Amino acid sequence: MNILDTSIAVFGWFTVVLTVGLSFPQLIKLLKERKTQKVNFYSFWILHIGILTWTIFGVLSDSTNPFKLQNVVIADGVSLFVNGIMTYLLYHFYDFNLTKPSKLPVVLQSVQARKLLAFAGVLLTWVIGIIFISLYFSNSAFRISSNAATIFAIIAPSLTTFAFAPQLYTSIKNKNWKGISPMMFIIFELNNFCWIVFWILSISKYGANLDLIGGLIWQIVSFILYGYQLSMVIRFNYFKANNFA
């Protein structure tokens, strides 16, 4: 194994560990406080669906090299389950009595009904993820063309990149940055950095494939967006709290 292959393997496993760890800070925050702060649920669902889409992207691409993105499958496959637990707990610990009347049908407006819907949604993503991951490891011919992989490379990263755009809007509007664990954004940034290095190394090995280039571009955008949100969380939660800003 040459230096390039070794580097790809090392950063590939870094991405696995960090991607799996993305949800742990928020999960620990929820379990510790046993209370969900003011958050935008859309952001967490977009992130969760994005993780599922990443998993499917890793499973299906690319027929010319069936196991090129195995770290994507492992990282996002495991993350799908951890993030699912965290997503449900957001509902479990949320005080719905403090929210405005919902536009949902009356039968779905009760607290138990909302929690049940959240659980059902998470469970559905788990079932879909298990099906695709099982196909990935049992049938190496179950792949798509490079062109189709490129489409996935555009869609999947966009969901996780802009997942917290609704939360960003909510935080700016309410001037409240306490809903999300700062450590979550720190891990997001470390994760983005490792993925950027992984995409660059993969392009060096496999050539300028559009799916790899797409992944790299979106990862850079994600690095910038989450970096901004991290800076705002630190500024409002620490500097302003101590009258430094």
Instruction: Domain ranges for the chain, please list them.
Output: 3-239
- Tell me: pLDDT of 41 over 80: yes
Confidence of residue 127 (pLDDT cuts 50, 70, 90): very high
Rounded CA-CA distance 215/200 in Å is 10
Rounded CA-CA distance 15/192 in Å is 8
More confident residue, 96 or 50: 50
Considering only CA atoms, which of 212, 220, 219 is closest in space to residue 8?
Answer: 212
The mean predicted confidence, pLDDT, of the chain is 82
- Mean pLDDT over 37-66 rounds to 81
Residues making up the chain, counted from first to last: 245
DSSP H or E stretch at residue 242: none
pLDDT at site 201 = 93
Question: Tokens 């993820």 — which residue?
Answer: 129
- Mean pLDDT over 88-102 rounds to 77
- Tell me: pLDDT of 85 over 90: yes
- Tell me: pLDDT of 101 over 70: no
- Tell me: pLDDT of 148 over 90: no
Question: Which tokens sit at 179?
Answer: 């809903």
- The model's pTM: 0.79
Considering only CA atoms, which of 159, 192, 167 is closest in space to residue 53?
Answer: 159
Rounded CA-CA distance 43/140 in Å is 34
SS3 103: coil
- Tell me: pLDDT of 104 over 60: no
Rounded CA-CA distance 184/230 in Å is 9
What percentage of the chain exceeds 70 in pLDDT?
A: 87
Question: Tokens 């610990």 — which residue?
Answer: 93
Rounded CA-CA distance 121/106 in Å is 19
Question: Tokens 């194994």 — which residue?
Answer: 1
pLDDT at site 122 = 97
Cite the DSSP H helix spans in the chain. Answer: 3-21, 24-33, 41-60, 70-92, 111-138, 146-161, 165-174, 182-206, 210-234
pLDDT at site 21 = 86
